Every structure is written in structure tokens, then in C-alpha cells.
Amino acid sequence: MMNGAAGTIAGMTREAQAAMQERAREWIGGLDLVSREEFEAVKAMAIAAREENEALKARLDGLEGKSAKGGRKKSGAGASN
């Protein structure tokens, strides 16, 4: 009789564990998670975009510097007239 009760309790424990695992899978499945591969791909895209942004900023700063130098010469010449 004790063996029967122990077997019943063990079976109930297994069923409870299985039910909890199933609920955990459902909960995790409902989350909006991305795979590692997707994350790494987006990360690489962000790094490339940041590098391009920095290069364009440096280029723009260079163009603005040339423009400012050209503008000073013109305004200086106009001021002496």
C-alpha cells in the first residue's frame, strides 16, 4: 500500500512539473523575443550606420570649414569697399 501511495505521489509530481514546464513555454513563447542571429544582424547594421554617420559628419564639417573660409574672404573684401 505504501508503494502504491509513493507511486501516486511520484506521478502527481511528474504531472505538476510537466504542467509548469508547459506554462513556462507558453509564457516565453508569448514574449516578443528575437533570435541571437537576428540580434547580431541588427547590431552589425547599427554599427555600419554609426560609422557612415561619423564619416558623413566629418565630410560635412570639412565642407562647412571650406565654406566658412570662403565666406570670410568675401565678407572681408566687401568690408574694405
Residue 57 and residue 50: Cα distance in Å, rounded?
Answer: 10
pLDDT at 5 over 70: yes
Residue 64 and residue 57: Cα distance in Å, rounded?
Answer: 10
pLDDT at 2 over 90: no
Q: Average pLDDT of 8-28?
A: 90
Q: Where are the domains of the chain?
A: 1-33, 34-81
Q: pTM, whole model, 2 decimals?
A: 0.48
Residue 30 and residue 23: Cα distance in Å, rounded?
Answer: 11
* Three-state DSSP state, 25: helix
Q: Maximum CA pair distance of the chain?
A: 116
Residue 17 and residue 26: Cα distance in Å, rounded?
Answer: 14
pLDDT at 78 over 70: no
